[in-house]
């Protein structure tokens, strides 16, 4: 029977070294995706340049294993993600300027991610979307297409034909508008991060 994270953390603390070792390896394996998402959230590029980040993320996961109290009734993933992000932040601060993604240092990109998180977490989501779109100079039509395409501001996700029917356009015209809008968003660091969040 497959054990969940909370059961595995308890097993890591078993006095039986074989049980503890197996639970430890299983926890690391089961949570690789969590570490990967945390790294991608910062870099949007899980390639060889991120190797140190993945190692830092694993260290954060181990810290979470040690600190987690299953009697508190919360899921392991909550404190695990907190510790992983903390470890990544520490790594970025220590290695600021050493890793480049395009024309940005990892430290600068992390700063943009934090800004994007602040906008999303501290304001109403609709205001966040409007702020980012305004920063990038998107036209009203481009904004409308993206809102319907990605289900923003309470809209349901729609395909190009459905959006075209709403706007009185052919699906190919909608595709062109979407492409132009996405290209504009990609040129802005905060918007790139926001775009990555809504597409995943």
DSSP three-state, residue 146: helix
When computed from its CA atoms, the radius of gyration of the chain, rounded to whole angstroms, is 21
- Choose between 109 and 151: higher pLDDT: 151
Predicted confidence at residue 123, as pLDDT, reads 43
Range(s) within the chain of domains with CATH label 1.10.10.10: 123-199
Predicted confidence at residue 113, as pLDDT, reads 47
* Cα 80–Cα 8–Cα 55 angle in degrees, nearest 5: 45
Q: From residue 59, how far is each of 62, 101, 166, 174, 179 by CA, in Å?
A: 5, 23, 50, 45, 39
Q: Examine the pLDDT at 70 and tell me if it is beyond 60.
A: yes
Separation of alpha carbons 102 and 32, rounded Å: 26
Q: Among 13-22, 36-45, 104-113, 189-198, where is mean pLDDT lowest?
A: 104-113
Containing 100, the helix (H) or strand (E) segment is: strand 100-101
CB atoms within 10 A of CB 17: 8
Question: What CATH number does the domain located at 123-199 have?
Answer: 1.10.10.10
Question: What CATH number does the domain located at 5-101 have?
Answer: 1.20.120.1810
Q: Examine the pLDDT at 25 and tell me if it is beyond 90.
A: no
Predicted confidence at residue 151, as pLDDT, reads 82
Range(s) within the chain of domains with CATH label 1.20.120.1810: 5-101
52 sits in the region (left: phi over 0; alpha: psi -120 to 50; else beta) called: alpha
Helices (H), the chain: 5-12, 17-30, 32-43, 51-67, 77-94, 106-122, 125-135, 140-150, 160-167, 171-186, 189-199
Separation of alpha carbons 177 and 183, rounded Å: 10
Separation of alpha carbons 101 and 42, rounded Å: 11
pLDDT, tens digit (0-9, with 9 covering 90-100), for 133-161: 877 788 999 999 998 888 876 678 889 99
Q: What is the mean pLDDT of the chain?
A: 76
Q: Examine the pLDDT at 4 and tell me if it is beyond 70.
A: yes
pLDDT, tens digit (0-9, with 9 covering 90-100), for 173-190: 999 999 998 888 877 655
Task: Read off the pLDDT band of 100 (50, 70, 90).
Answer: very low
Average pLDDT over residues 110-138: 59
Predicted confidence at residue 115, as pLDDT, reads 46
Predicted confidence at residue 58, as pLDDT, reads 87
- Choose between 41 and 142: higher pLDDT: 142
């Amino acid at each position: 029977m497959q054990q969940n994270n909370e059961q595995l953390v308890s097993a890591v603390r078993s006095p039986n070294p074989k049980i503890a070792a197996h639970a430890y390896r299983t926890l690391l394996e089961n949570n690789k995706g969590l570490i990967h998402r945390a790294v991608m959230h910062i870099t949007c590029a899980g390639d060889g340049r991120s190797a140190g980040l993945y190692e830092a993320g694993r260290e954060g996961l181990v810290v979470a294993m040690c600190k987690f109290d299953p009697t508190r009734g919360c899921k392991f993933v909550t404190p695990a993600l907190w510790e992983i992000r903390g470890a990544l932040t520490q790594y970025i601060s220590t290695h600021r300027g050493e890793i480049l993604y395009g024309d940005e240092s990892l430290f600068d990109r992390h700063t943009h991610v934090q800004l994007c998180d602040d906008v999303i977490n501290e304001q109403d989501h609709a205001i966040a979307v409007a702020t980012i779109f305004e920063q990038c100079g998107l036209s009203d039509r481009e904004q409308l297409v993206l809102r319907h395409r990605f289900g923003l501001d309470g809209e349901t996700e729609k395909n190009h034909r459905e959006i075209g029917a709403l706007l009185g356009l052919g699906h190919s015209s909608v595709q062109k508008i979407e492409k132009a809008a996405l290209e504009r968003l990609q040129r802005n660091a905060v918007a790139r991060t926001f775009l990555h969040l809504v597409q995943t």
